[in-house]
Amino acid sequence: MISPIVSVPKVGTSAGGPASGTAGLVDALEGGAVLLFPDLDFPLSAFERRFVERPFADGKAKNVNIRGEAATLKGAAGTAEEQAALRALLMRYRAFAEDLIRTRLPAYAGKVSLAGTSYRPFEVDQRKLSWRRDDTRLHVDAFPSNPIGEKRILRIFRNINPDGQPRRWRVGEDFGSMAEKFLPRLPGYSPLSARLLAALRITKARRSEYDHLMLHLHDALKQDKAYQAQAPQADVEFTPGQTWVTFSDLVMHGAMGGRYMLEQTAYLPVADQADPERSPQRILARKLGRALQ
Ligand SMILES: O=C(O)CCC(=O)C(=O)O
Ligand SMILES: [Fe+2]
């Protein structure tokens, strides 16, 4: 099964089908859907419009972002005034994402913790990246230095392109079908090397067996050219003004084109899902027939 795109009309419109209640949205999301909000408002001010006319990025990193309570701006370019305005824009987007969770996914409100917020001004395929960093290849997200453990990765994206250019994605097959093909190929987990990586501060916390499996899945997927070409998949376009939300640790995705996007990452404890059994953590454990270490 290919990940479905579930379009969610604005609250208060008559178009709301059965899936538009908040329980229905959580159910779709946890089942591996991408929720698409076609018409939420997030206007840019006259001053901010410059941020979609040219990239305000130092070009060293892929994106510009703010992180943590201090919301320190990283990777930005421009005058002090422009950088302050870009930081304020990212903080406003973070509040917008938080509000979206509070109103449309209230079961997760107070449970998610917000991580980085990014501004992505560059054309997706503009840069030649190593295969591991090449997000045009279908993958699930896994962060090498940032073990995720018993948390889920929930992401809120918005296309802010001013010229009508869509963000183009591919979405792939469901996590379970993918895992069945790839799990037998992955190397075994070593608790000893996980402790070593943490002691050497290569990882920020101990890499769990789940983290190990997800990193190797991410790499094995991206390296498999035949899978990339032939696996079940669908092209999706997110037009300017659209906002979309997905568990990017569960939904196979690749970014194929587009520029100027905002993105918020949030973490949700597996235990706070409506149904923890649908997490990649539990799906992998079931496929292996044992609890993960
Ligand atoms: O930039 C995008 O549209 C998504 C890229 C991606 O796969 C990611 O950030 O994990
Ligand atoms: Fe990704």
Give the pLDDT score at 15: 55
Give the pLDDT score at 72: 96
Q: Which ligand is nearest to the CA of 120?
A: 1
* Residue 213 DSSP one-character state: H
Q: What is the pTM of this model?
A: 0.95
CA distance linking residue 201 with residue 220, whole number of Å: 25
Q: Which ligand is nearest to the CA of 254?
A: 1
Residue pair 161/260 in contact (Cβ under 8 Å)? The answer is yes
Report CA(139)–ligand 2 centroid distance (Å).
6
16 pLDDT higher than 80 = no
Give the pLDDT score at 156: 98
Q: In what order do the strands lie in the sheet with 167-172?
A: 233-238, 167-172, 253-257
Give the pLDDT score at 61: 82
pLDDT grade for 20, boundaries at 50, 70 and 90: low
Give the pLDDT score at 104: 96
pLDDT grade for 21, boundaries at 50, 70 and 90: confident
CA distance linking residue 118 with residue 44, whole number of Å: 16
Q: How many helices (H) and strands (E) does the chain have?
A: 7, 11
Enter the CATH code of domain 5-288: 2.60.120
CA distance linking residue 110 with residue 108, whole number of Å: 6
- Nearest atom in ligand 1 to the alpha carbon of residue 139 is 7
Summarize pLDDT for 126-144 with one digit per residue, the tens: 566 788 889 999 999 998 8
How is the chain split into domains, by residue range?
A: 5-288
What single-letter amino acid sits at 53?
A: E
Neighbours of 59 (CB within 10 A): 11
